[in-house]
């Protein structure tokens, strides 16, 4: 069955409530653990049905935000998803209060019960209207960004379509394109500020009503951080400042030398070589076909996976008007189908999508039969280990996509992971400050960004862009609006992925792929640090782990004469 034939039906909330209430009553009256498990398995089927509906509506709306039918469905789910979630919380409460709880914990993954406990802490009927408001504000931001129609170069462009201009060899084009892109944000600055201000206050109110001191505490619960805390994250951020920021400074100096400029401006950062950044030598269709060959050659498991995806049209990768920006992977549970959404724009990022989002998709394909649905996916930072590691595991096939520019791509790809880390932790630190001080004014928030940017990103020069200079860089980061506290997960996973890079590309460790398969197959049945251990990796929180990993990468990059790329 093709994706277009996957059937969407809006479920009835009243029917769902009735079904869940029936299951709760039957579950509570179960005389044996076997009877209790039978009820839970029926409940899992119901959960899958709702998840399928939510995901199909979300995917089809993100593909075309101008589609009136799915626009209405998006509005429906913004309002009703908290109401469906309220029923799940009721069932979760019954599970935690079950006389068979200890026996149930022997039959289902322990993380399932940890997730239930967190869902109890993060929800009450009292906050449903606020959750609905939070959903609507997030959608408002996403729709605003997707609506961008910016006149430049005689064309009307969406935001993702500016990608190639940001890598132009003509410095004036890079600057002018950046200013044209920024003009959209300038025109909508007040609206964006208002959306985020309302989001901060709404999320803070939710946290207070749920008994937390602030949204930071609730944010960690929502992110299901089972085995690390705010203090450990703070230490990790300090380690990034100590070991990564100096290396970033060195890499930026090399980049400026390659570009022949005395000092990099913000619009220079995405161009790495005067000979041009490494770009795919294939068009979109050919990229997917080359990806098919790559995954068929990598392993029998990835071969089965990629053919499943392509035969069912589970990719939507072309950028077009009305389509949401960015990229993601999700899972349509009733069809046991991953789905990859992206915006190809002719840059190396197109290949990163094929490896990064396919890393997510491969993991969930490997764990698709785990029950319940809640633990098919691991927690977010663990998910990113699969995706970022796949980017490096597929290095031996990059010549299929980049031809003679393959070495250039590899240098840039590895270096970009380093360059990203300080930005990732800056975004995280910014959110901690914002949610610990929810009554800051809009201008005070922007001042906080500039202060943190000076600490983590001293290589950034925004003197030619007033909008960014006033502390607005973060307004382009959708995660800050839609997924608070998610962003540092990318950096934690990047440290783990770097270790897979070393094992597969430098050490030629034949056990690395076995370990990677193991962490894909376990899905969400283990916590982040348990997955790190299963993969035989060092925890990013361990003293010295960051130093050792960064040093190995610095050595590799130093061994390459980047001026010849």
Question: Tens digits of per-residue pLDDT, 275-302?
Answer: 988 999 999 999 999 999 999 999 999 9
CB-based burial, 149-187: b 16+ in 10 Å, e otherwise: ebebeeeebbbbbbbebbbbeebebbbbbbbbbbebbee
509 phi and psi, to 5 degrees? -75, 110
Q: Which residues does the chain have with pLDDT short of 70?
A: none
Q: Which two tokens stand for residue 513?
A: 């792929």
Question: What 3-state class would DSSP assign to 87?
Answer: helix
pLDDT of residue 326: 84
In angstroms, the CA 358 to CA 327 distance is: 11
Non-local (6+) Cβ contacts of 516 within 8 A are: 386, 389, 393, 500, 535
DSSP for residue 197: H
Non-local (6+) Cβ contacts of 281 within 8 A are: 401, 402, 403, 405
Report yes or no: 252 and 265 within 8 Å, Cβ to Cβ: no
Terminal-residue alpha carbon distance, the chain: 45
Q: Which two tokens stand for residue 548?
A: 């050792």
DSSP assignments along 118-139, one per residue? HHHHT--GGGHHHHHHHHHHHH
In angstroms, the CA 152 to CA 149 distance is: 10
pLDDT of residue 542: 82
Which class for 123: exposed (0-12), middle (13-18), buried (19 or more C-beta within 10 A)? Answer: buried
In angstroms, the CA 402 to CA 388 distance is: 19
| Residues linked to residue 157 through DSSP beta bridges, in sequence order | 150
Report yes or no: 185 and 192 within 8 Å, Cβ to Cβ: yes
- In the predicted model, what is the mean pLDDT of the chain? 96
pLDDT of residue 548: 85
Q: Domain coordinates of the chain in residue numbers?
A: 3-107
Distances (CA, A) of 553 to 244, 247, 376, 560: 11, 10, 33, 11
Q: Which two tokens stand for residue 141?
A: 């931001």
Distances (CA, A) of 564 to 252, 257, 411, 428, 481: 16, 12, 11, 36, 41
Please identify which residue in the block is written with the tokens 């001026």: 563
The three state secondary structure string of 504-560 is HHHCCCCCHHHHHHHHHHCCCCCCHHHHHHHCCCCCCCCCCHHHHHHHHHHHHHHCC
Closest CA to 361 of 312, 415, 425: 312
Non-local (6+) Cβ contacts of 243 within 8 A are: 546, 547, 550
Closest CA to 142 of 159, 166, 162: 159
Q: Which two tokens stand for residue 479?
A: 């995660």
Instruction: Classify strands 337-344 and 155-157 as parallel, antiparallel or unpaired.
Output: unpaired
343 phi and psi, to 5 degrees? -130, 85
Predicted TM-score (pTM) of this structure: 0.90
The three state secondary structure string of 220-277 is HHHCCCCCCCHHHHHHHHHHHHHHHHHHHHHHHHHHHHHHCCCCCCHHHCCCCCCCCC
pLDDT of residue 325: 84
Q: Which two tokens stand for residue 381?
A: 């930072």
């Amino acid at each position: 069955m093709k994706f277009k034939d996957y059937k969407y039906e809006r479920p009835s909330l009243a029917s769902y409530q009735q079904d869940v209430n029936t299951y709760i009553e039957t579950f509570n009256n179960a005389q044996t653990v076997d009877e209790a498990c039978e009820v839970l398995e029926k409940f899992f089927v119901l959960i899958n049905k709702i998840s399928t509906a939510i995901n199909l509506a979300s995917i089809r709306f993100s593909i075309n935000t101008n589609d009136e039918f799915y626009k209405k469905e998006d509005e429906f789910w913004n309002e009703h998803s908290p109401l469906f979630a309220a029923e799940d919380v009721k069932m979760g409460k019954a599970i935690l209060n079950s006389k068979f709880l200890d026996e149930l914990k022997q039959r289902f993954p322990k993380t399932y019960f940890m997730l239930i406990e967190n869902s109890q802490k993060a929800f009450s009927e009292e906050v449903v209207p606020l959750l609905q408001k939070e959903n609507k504000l997030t959608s408002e931001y996403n729709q605003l960004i997707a609506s961008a129609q910016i006149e430049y170069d005689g064309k009307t462009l969406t935001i993702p379509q500016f990608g190639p201009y940001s890598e132009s060899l003509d410095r004036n084009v890079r600057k002018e394109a950046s200013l044209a892109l920024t003009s959209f944000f300038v025109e909508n600055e007040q609206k964006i500020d208002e959306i985020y201000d309302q989001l901060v206050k709404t999320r803070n109110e939710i946290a207070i009503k749920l008994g937390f001191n602030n949204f930071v505490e609730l944010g960690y619960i929502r992110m299901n951080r089972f085995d690390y805390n705010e203090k450990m994250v703070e230490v990790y951020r300090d380690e990034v400042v100590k070991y990564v920021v100096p290396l970033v400074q060195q890499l930026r100096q090399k980049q400026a030398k390659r570009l022949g400029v005395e000092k990099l401006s913000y619009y220079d950062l995405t161009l790495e070589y005067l000979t041009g950044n490494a770009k795919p030598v294939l068009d979109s269709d050919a990229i997917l076909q080359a990806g098919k060959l790559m995954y068929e050659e990598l392993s029998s498991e990835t071969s089965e996976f990629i053919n499943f995806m392509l035969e069912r049209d589970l990719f939507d990768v072309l950028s077009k008007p009305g389509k949401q920006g960015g990229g993601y992977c999700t899972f349509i549970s009733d069809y046991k189908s991953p789905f990859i959404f992206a915006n190809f724009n002719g840059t190396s990022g197109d290949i990163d999508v094929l490896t990064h989002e396919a890393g997510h998709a491969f993991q969930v394909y490997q764990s698709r039969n785990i029950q319940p649905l809640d633990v098919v996916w691991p927690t977010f930072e663990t998910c990113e280990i699969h995706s970022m590691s796949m980017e490096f595991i597929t290095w031996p096939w990059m010549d299929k996509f980049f031809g003679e520019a393959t070495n250039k791509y590899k240098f840039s790809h590895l270096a970009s992971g380093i360059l990203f880390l300080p930005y990732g932790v800056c975004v995280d630190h910014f959110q901690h400050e914002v949610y610990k001080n929810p009554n800051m004014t809009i201008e005070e928030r922007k001042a906080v960004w500039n202060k943190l940017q000076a600490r983590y990103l001293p290589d950034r020069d925004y003197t030619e862009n007033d909008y960014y200079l006033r502390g607005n860089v973060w307004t382009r980061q959708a995660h800050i609006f839609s997924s608070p506290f998610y962003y540092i997960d990318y950096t934690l996973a990047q440290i783990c992925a770097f270790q897979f890079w070393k094992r597969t590309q430098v050490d030629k460790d034949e056990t690395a792929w076995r370990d990677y398969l193991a962490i894909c197959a376990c899905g969400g049945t283990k916590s982040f640090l348990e997955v790190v251990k299963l993969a035989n990796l060092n925890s990013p929180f361990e003293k010295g782990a960051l130093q050792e990993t960064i040093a190995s990468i610095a050595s590799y990059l130093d061994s390459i004469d980047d001026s010849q790329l």
